Chains A and B, each alone.
Chain A
Amino acid sequence: MGYVFWPKSLENGSYGSKTVIGVKEPGSDWMVLALLGIEEYGAFCKSKCCQKYGFAKIGTWQKDSGLVLELENAKSTFLVRFKPPRLNLMQFYSLEPIALVLPEKDYLIDSTVGKCHPVVRQTRSSGNAEFRLRTSINLINLYHKHLRLLETSVSRHMEEVRSKKSLTMGFTWYETAIYRKSRALLRCCALYVTICAHFLAVTLIGFLSMTPLKLINISATSQQIDLRCRQLCYFPVQFLRINASAALKDTVNPQTESDMRAPKRSTFPCSNYPDYIRFYNTIWLIANDLSFGFSVGTLLAENQDRIAVFLNTVFTKYLFEKVHLITAALSQNPLGIKLNGELAQFLSDLFLWIIDFSYSTYIRRITSTVSIRIFISIISAASFCFGATFAMAIMVDLISFLTMHISLFYFISAKMYHWQLHVLQTLLYLFYGKKRNVLRNRVDSNLFELDQLLMGTLFFTILVFLLPTFSIFYASFTLLRMAVLVPELLFEFLMALMNHFPLFVLLLRIKDPKRIPGGILLQPVQKGREFKLENNPLTLKAIFRPYSVLLSTMIENHFSLPTLRHILVGHPMTIKRHKMYRILYSTLPEVPAQTREIWASLTSKY
């Protein structure tokens, strides 16, 4: 059983009896290239291009009776109609969905990607058929190239140049000496600027992820700087890749037709389109970010005074007065729960002391109206220069800096609570005469001495009585910490949206779905005697896959049952910024390219 791929537009405007010319590669099915008249067929036979490129006559076509195949098993051959993809518009067919993330980062979001294209699943049933389909799809993608080859070879023999016209027009006026010189100068400048910027960016990345400090994990601003640097580092690589594919496209030019066959097999021209999409997506997002930044910066700068006064009252009220009130109330049997007086007094005094200390040392100064105004001007300046995401990142950092005392309380009480629970568990084992066996990772019975028993039980009783006090402190500071984390998370999510939104892909989806194939669709028409090959554009779900993964990670990290269990046991909860961003960094390589490599590849190219 075989297939013949038939371009849809072929029959338009063709009359009379024509010869069907097809092309075939080893391992693929026949693809119909053109319908030639008698004269053209004669020229085709004379041009000897049949052996050279693998073209052959596979049948005849009549307006009334249609196609008559002259193949071996013509009876069991099905016709598959397709719309030829236009490679110069970056349309192509593909069995797999186009990779929006880097292939090596696929594992980060890979959980369900395989499920959303059943067509591929079906073809996977036999490896041979899949291979055949794959080579055929490759052949289809190169339809226009083969067609042009055929046309040039035929038309050369018919003394009529048709296709060369379009390719070589307009290249005359600027091929002057001045232009060439200035162009070389510009290119040289651009090269040096690129290398300098790349070197700076690589150094900055190295500095931000230096091991003892790991600024990336601490502050959102450094994370944002790191992201921009990584993007900057990746730009030359992407640019080179895109240009490599453009250079390949140039080889369609018939002047180099002698070495055509080699690149046609080895490299597939569509393989760098994902890079193109990623590159322009990044550029577009940065531009977007900048334009948002202008408006945000303007808004902030205009309403500086009002915002400063408002924030001053809010910060003073909620970061100092309310926290002070809550902490003081905890020492006096809150909600009628009888706490241990001494311990509650001690903890409350400790925390009150920290609050007073932090307020008098830095919070009061930072939250004064004057310094808030300065901060707002800094944020608006950052927003003007680097985009709205930087403003948000600075805000996130400011919030986490201002609420440092709350985080400190939280960590202290979580640690104490966790220790207490752990000790209680161990002493409970002792109460039953058991002991944890670390070597076998189980609980064994053990004979304890009398002094061990007495001390253990005394401690156990004391800890049981102290548990409510610790848990009340822990619960209240956990709630406070949650209240602080929510706006931070909100900002971070907004930043993630603005930094990684698949804007370009979405626009492509609207403008030309063929440029982002998500698989193919073979539909039977005319009662199964013919098939229709169509492009399955990438689904919205697949486009937003990194986001859904991010969202589920966030939910899992902050609002899930395991998290609740973690909270109940007293494990500290933090924003795992690194883990969150690892998913969104999936369009960037793990390690940025070295400046030396970029220099080498740029200089060798130009």
Chain B
Amino acid sequence: MKQRWQRLLWLKQDFPDNHTDPDFLREVSELRNVQLNPSSTSSYSRVVGDFLLFYHRALNTGLMYITFTLLYYYRCDPVYITGALTSLAFLASVLFHRATVSLKSPLIIIFSMLVLSPVLKSLSRTTSSDSIWTISCWLTLFYVASVSLQSQSIVSTNLLVANVAVLASRLSSTTDVFCFLLICIELNVLLPYFERSLLDRKLFTTYGTTFLINNAVVYYFVTQFLGWIYTTVFAFSAVTFVFGLPRYFIYWQKHYYKNGPLLSRWDARRPVLD
């Protein structure tokens, strides 16, 4: 029986130089078949919906930076915002849950933040601002990545809190630190939770309103802080992300050919180095 042809150059094999393995031809035809008949894809509107949700989370993260800018650069008094947001959150929890709110957990959070805010205030005084911005940037990136992987996870919450703590350590007064912590937790932990519960109850109008308000706030402040050009850039990239990227995704889903024996077997292999 004749030895099977092997794809190894250093073996002396009893085959002509222009030998073509029959398997190769078969697999090429299979690949061509797959390329001609693309697989079914998800619906465009669903993909847009998913992208929209992710965009919303990212927007919430932007709210955190807006608050920080207000407190750090514009020296706003945070007490009113905090009071308003906290009462809103309380109202919303009473209205939409219609359940007795357990007081223990919020009280623990508030008091521990009160205790720790003086410590946080002096935490990074000797560190330069640039290092803090860098750390915060990386933490935000990790946070967004963790949100994109799993919308609700312990790691993402922790990354967010760490980021908030790092940013809070730049603020100058204890009140600022405490209010900033509280606002950020409300905007980035409670608000997404609230929005998700809206979606679960199929209250799409309310959800749409929140989403629009959210957008309006973010773009208003971006215009105020950075000017029209940045707003345009942000808006354009947001539109591209929400409406353009799903198209590309669907195109990719249609033509992606995974685990084809031709691609895995006849590719140039990676060398194995000792």
Which A residues are closer than 8 A to B by beta carbons? 333, 338-342, 430-433, 447-451, 453-462, 465-466
Contacts and interface: CB of A to CB of B under 8 A. Distances in A.
A326 B157 CA distance: 42
Contacts of B155: 431-433
B101 to A, nearest CB: 13
Nearest to B105: A451
B185 A454 contact: yes
Given A432-B154, A454-B185, A462 B162 contact: no
B125 interface: yes
A466 B162 CA distance: 14
B123 A340 contact: yes
Given A432-B155, A433-B154, A458 B126 contact: no
A462 B120 contact: yes
A553 B112 CA distance: 48
A455 B154 contact: no
A486 B145 CA distance: 52
Nearest to A456: B158
Which of B105, B154, B161, B165 counts the most chain A CB atoms within 10 A?
A: B154
B127 interface: yes
A458 B161 contact: yes
B116 interface: yes
B125 A453 contact: no
A372 B109 CA distance: 59
22 contacts: A431-B155, A433-B153, A448-B154, A450-B157, A451-B104, A451-B106, A451-B109, A453-B157, A454-B109, A454-B113, A454-B161, A455-B108, A455-B109, A457-B162, A458-B112, A460-B158, A460-B162, A461-B123, A461-B161, A461-B162, A462-B165, A465-B124
Contacts of A451: 104-106, 108-109, 112
Interface of B: 104-106, 108-109, 112-113, 116, 119-120, 122-128, 153-155, 157-158, 161-162, 165-166, 169, 185, 189
B161 A457 contact: yes
B122 A449 contact: no
Contacts of B125: 340-341
Given A432-B155, A457-B158, A341 B189 contact: no
A456 B21 CA distance: 62
B154 to A, nearest CB: 4
Nearest to B189: A450
Contacts of B119: 462
Nearest to A431: B158
Contact of A453 (B120, B124, B158, B165): B158
Given A431-B155, A455-B112, A465-B127, 7 more contacts: A339-B126, A341-B125, A448-B154, A458-B161, A461-B123, A462-B116, A465-B169
Which of B105, B161, B162, B169 counts the most chain A CB atoms within 10 A?
A: B161
B8 to A, nearest CB: 45
Given A451-B108, A453-B161, A462 B153 contact: no
Contacts of A453: 154, 157-158, 161
Q: Shortest 3 CB-CB distances between A and B: which pairs?
A: A433-B154, A457-B161, A461-B165
